[in-house]
Amino acid sequence: MTPSATAPRMYRAGIVGCGAISRNHLEAFGALDNVQVVGVCDIDLDRARATAQDWDVPHAVNTVDEILALGVDIVSVCTPHPTHEEVVLKAAAAGVHVLCEKPIATRLGSAERMVAACEEAGVQFGALFQRRFWPAAQRIRSAIDDGTLGRPLMAQCSVMLHRAPEYYNRDAWRGTWENDGGGVLMTQAIHQIDLLQWYLGDVAEVYGKVNTYRHGGYIEVEDSATAVITFTSGAMATLEASTAVSPNLGIQLRITGETGASASLTEFPEGSDGRLDLWAVGERITVEPVHPEGVEPNVDLSTINGQLIPHHTSQVRDFVQALDAGTEPAITGKDALKSLRILLAVYESSRTGAPVRFAGSGASPGVDIPADVVTRVPAEAAG
Ligand SMILES: NC(=O)c1ccc[n+]([C@@H]2O[C@H](COP(=O)([O-])OP(=O)(O)OC[C@H]3O[C@@H](n4cnc5c(N)ncnc54)[C@H](O)[C@@H]3O)[C@@H](O)[C@H]2O)c1
């Protein structure tokens, strides 16, 4: 073999959107030997320039077309939710692979167009749900697959978070139905909804309620939600989610499988350990003694985002390895579409007061949620 045959393929990456989460992508690409970030893009050119300077990136631009013109192989989409579609469609048309932050879109139609465009163009479409890459989250997946838990029967998911008014007031797009597309479900609990559907499979029915308890003075969207989700396997999950909690109580996801064994994944308020804190398998219950002195509950978002960097790095590494192997990445746009469909069904159920039964799930009468469901939510959600 010649040396060139064994050399890893080099990739040129561009990042669109130089706000809070772009740091995670810059760190993640920086950790890989075979990727160079050649350009950053922001509609605020000064912000793009500052980012390029801080991270030693050769080009700073303010349009997607200019980033694509740099001849990139991969584009990371780190802009506000409703702008993702335009970036993804342009990247796909240019034959560029896409890594898009969650939620990939706030409307089903938009997400479907993005998935279809990437498929037609033959480019890979990765969706960022980095919490799947926690070792503890992977351990639960393995325990399902190897029979330790076996087929999941029940899940309880609690996403009880603190967000200060400044979080919503920081950017005009936050907290609006039009631009944020939803509240705690769309922006925070979507990560745990992704984990639920990864563990428990396809959804048959969703019943839910949303409400706005504490942030109603400055947001339109829900700050709290509850849901009962039934899966085609017959498994059931309950979900409670809120950003109206103070202090921050963190996140817990517990799964019980057909063997009777349970595992519980806890994300502490101060960040994202994502540790497995309860492992009730066989004759033993193991509870990990963590943070006996307590934790600081309401830490700032840059701390939380910073603690997610190792998991962004794992997902970005998986994505690049998939490009090398010519396979799909671990988490695709199609997976993201499933999570979006579930959370939109919570809004629809809250609006109508009836469960939403997913078409094709075998559940009767098999109605599906309309593609424009979010546009019809506000009056009910605010009530
Ligand atoms: N995976 C995670 O855990 C995680 C965490 C935080 C944010 N996110 C997601 O990342 C995305 C961005 O969030 P953020 O907190 O970084 O937002 P942000 O507001 O801090 O940054 C967004 C940036 O995009 C720029 N921008 C807006 N429209 C643009 C366009 N059309 N072209 C180029 N640049 C544009 C803005 O000027 C801003 O600098 C959101 O979808 C959010 O949900 C994911």
User: Per residue in 226-280, pLDDT tens?
Assistant: 999 999 999 999 999 999 999 999 999 999 999 999 999 998 876 667 888 889 9
User: Is 81 touching ligand 1 by the criterion CB < 6 Å?
Assistant: yes
In this prediction, residue 271 carries a pLDDT of 62
CA of 286 to the centre of ligand 1 (A): 39
Please tell me the distance from the alpha carbon of residue 210 to that of residue 183, in angstroms, as a whole number: 9
Question: Cα–Cα distances in Å, from 270 out to 35, 130, 284, 296, 305?
Answer: 31, 17, 29, 6, 11
From 16, 89, 101, give the residue whose CB has the most ligand 1 atoms within 8 Å, as the site to mutate: 101
User: Is 24 touching ligand 1 by the criterion CB < 6 Å?
Assistant: no
In this prediction, residue 150 carries a pLDDT of 96
User: Is 43 touching ligand 1 by the criterion CB < 6 Å?
Assistant: yes
Nearest CA to ligand 1 atom 7: 21
In this prediction, residue 365 carries a pLDDT of 39
User: Is 329 touching ligand 1 by the criterion CB < 6 Å?
Assistant: no
pLDDT along the chain (383 residues), means of 10: 64 97 98 98 98 98 98 97 96 98 94 97 98 94 96 97 91 86 96 98 95 93 96 96 93 96 88 81 83 78 87 97 97 96 94 87 47 45 36
Where helices occur in 269-308 by DSSP H, the ranges are 301-307
Please tell me the distance from the alpha carbon of residue 91 to that of residue 250, in angstroms, as a whole number: 36
**Pairing mode, strands 74-77 and 262-267:** unpaired
39 closest CA partner among 23, 52, 50, 21: 52
In this prediction, residue 277 carries a pLDDT of 86
User: Is 13 touching ligand 1 by the criterion CB < 6 Å?
Assistant: no
Please tell me the distance from the alpha carbon of residue 103 to that of residue 239, in angstroms, as a whole number: 18
User: Is 312 touching ligand 1 by the criterion CB < 6 Å?
Assistant: no
Q: 3-class DSSP state for residue 290? A: coil
Contact present, 101 and 77 (Cβ < 8 Å): yes
In this prediction, residue 299 carries a pLDDT of 83
DSSP tag of 221: S
Estimate the crossing angle of helix 333-352 against helix 190-200, to 10 degrees. Answer: 110
Instruction: Centre a 10 Å sphere on the Cβ of residue 290 and count the other Cβ atoms it contains.
Output: 11
Would you give the distance in Å from CA 57 to the centre of its chain?
26
Q: Who's near 273: CB < 8 A, 6+ residues apart? A: 266, 267, 290, 307
User: Is 305 touching ligand 1 by the criterion CB < 6 Å?
Assistant: yes
Nearest CA to ligand 1 atom 5: 21
In this prediction, residue 314 carries a pLDDT of 97
In this prediction, residue 65 carries a pLDDT of 98
Task: Read off the pLDDT of residues 331-376 as tens digits, 9 standing for 90 and up.
Answer: 999 999 999 999 999 999 999 999 999 876 654 433 445 544 544 4
User: Is 130 touching ligand 1 by the criterion CB < 6 Å?
Assistant: yes
Evaluate whether the domain defined by 3-129 bears CATH number 3.40.50.720: yes
Q: Where are the domains of the chain?
A: 3-129, 131-299+333-382
User: Is 42 touching ligand 1 by the criterion CB < 6 Å?
Assistant: yes
DSSP 149-173: S-SEEEEEEEEE-B--HHHHHSSTT
Q: Given the CA of residue 171, which atom of ligand 1 is nearest to it?
A: 19
CA of 228 to the centre of ligand 1 (A): 30
Instruction: Give, for 53, the enclosing helix (H) or strand (E).
Output: helix 45-55
User: Is 44 touching ligand 1 by the criterion CB < 6 Å?
Assistant: yes
> Positive or negative, the Cα torsion across 114, 119, 122, 124?
positive
Nearest CA to ligand 1 atom 20: 19
Extended beta strands in 214-260, E state: 224-231, 236-242, 250-257
Q: Given the CA of residue 44, which atom of ligand 1 is nearest to it?
A: 37
CA of 81 to the centre of ligand 1 (A): 7
DSSP tag of 137: H
Q: Given the CA of residue 22, which atom of ligand 1 is nearest to it?
A: 16
Would you give the distance in Å from CA 364 to the centre of its chain?
30
Q: Given the CA of residue 83, which atom of ligand 1 is nearest to it?
A: 31
CA of 366 to the centre of ligand 1 (A): 36
CATH number of 131-299+333-382: 3.30.360.10
